[in-house]
Amino acid sequence: MVVLLLKRHRYLTTLVSSIILLLLYFQNSLLILSERSPCACHICVSDRKKSDWFRERYNPNVPLLLNSTNSVLHADVSRWWKGLQTVPNTSSYTKVVDQLFSLFPDKHHYSDAGPDRCRTCAVVGNSGNLLGSNYGPRIDFHDFVIRINKGPTKGYEKDVGLKTTHRIMYPESAVDLDNSTHLVLFPFKILDIEWLISAFSSKTIIQTYSKVPSTIKANKDKVMVLHPAFIRYVFDNWAEGHGRYPSTGFLTLIFALHICDEVNVFGFGATSGGIWHHYFEKTLTSYQGVHAGKFENEIISQLQKINKILVHMGRT
């Protein structure tokens, strides 16, 4: 009887020990999985664990681009976005969006993030601090090169590079693109989306608050339209309500935080002499206007401080 009890005791001890080891194993496995980096880069933009400031602002679930499954706007977003209209609006948003998806790709983009991906992006602004920088080869080395509005490459290749994978624009800043570049429309009004449709079809819209091109050379299979909810998100979470609405450059930078794993920023800010002008023209520019330029610059500086972006200051 005693021998039988001893055997049972040893059996129970072994069983309990095995269960404890298994629990420790699964606990460690879950810990490793939870600590696994969200991308294969050295530092991942979307990693929200190391900064409370970033985690409070960055929403990985915000819709970036319009498609037929997310095109219905929440009432507060619709009111805010339509409040930005600078020209009378007589069109139905729903009808315009229906026309949009009958002409351009209707699909989800950039849903391929993961621990095995390292997508590097260069966000290239238009600051005069690019002149003499010799950044061209460094910019072209990135997977994505995102340019803003009319910033040209021809004649400036040494400083700004040749490669363009995405061109951010609105009707008043439209330029022709090559067949490999994504046209990314930032719509600040319903008429902007109508212009895009017209530019690839009837070619009848030639005026918004200023003259706009009736057509544009671009690959219609690479057209994307920023979601109004994303514009509102940038205004609320990142610009914190400063200004009337975010600048195109600031919107582009936050957009890059959502589609890239590593973000390098070129051509933002003033020259080393404190002058604000575009690298392709001598006319002085303002970074305030309807935008909160000073506040946006502070946010950009904070993003660099916490290693979410690297800002290249240009020629010093």
Q: Binding site: residue ranges? A: 85, 126, 149, 209, 245, 249, 269, 278, 291
Is residue 185 classed as helix, strand or coil in its secondary structure?
Answer: strand
| CB contact at 8 A, 297 and 291 | no
pLDDT tens figures, 242-275: 999 999 999 999 999 999 999 999 999 888 788 8
**Residue 31, domain extent:** 1-36
Q: Say what the alpha-carbon torsion angle 239, 240, 243, 248 is, to the nearest 10 degrees.
A: 20
Residue 46 falls inside a structural domain: no
Tokens of 97: 């969006």
Number of structural domains (the chain) is: 2
Residue 196 falls inside a structural domain: yes
pLDDT tens figures, 109-153: 888 888 999 999 999 999 999 999 999 999 999 999 999 999 999
Q: Binding site for substrate: residue ranges? A: 85, 126, 149, 209, 245, 249, 269, 278, 291
Same domain, 253 and 299: yes
Same domain, 13 and 115: no
Q: Is 245 a catalytic residue?
A: yes
* Sheet with strand 223-225: strands edge to edge: 223-225, 182-185, 166-169, 144-148, 120-124, 262-266, 309-312
- For residue 95, the domain's CATH number is 3.90.1480.20
Same domain, 23 and 163: no
Same domain, 161 and 22: no
Same domain, 31 and 152: no
| CB contact at 8 A, 219 and 179 | yes
Same domain, 156 and 294: yes
Angle of helix 190-199 versus helix 93-103 axis, rounded to 10: 30
Same domain, 117 and 253: yes
| CB contact at 8 A, 254 and 238 | yes
Q: Is 142 a catalytic residue?
A: no
Written as tens digits, the pLDDT of the chain (316 aa) is 544 444 565 655 565 455 554 444 444 433 333 456 789 998 899 998 889 999 999 999 999 999 999 999 999 999 999 998 877 777 899 999 999 999 999 988 888 888 999 999 999 999 999 999 999 999 999 999 999 999 999 999 999 999 999 999 999 999 999 999 999 999 999 999 999 999 999 999 999 989 999 999 999 999 999 999 999 999 999 999 999 999 999 999 999 999 999 999 999 988 878 888 899 987 776 555 666 889 999 999 999 999 999 999 987 5
Selecting among 58, 135, 233, 245, the annotated active-site residue is 245
Residue 47 falls inside a structural domain: no
Same domain, 9 and 94: no
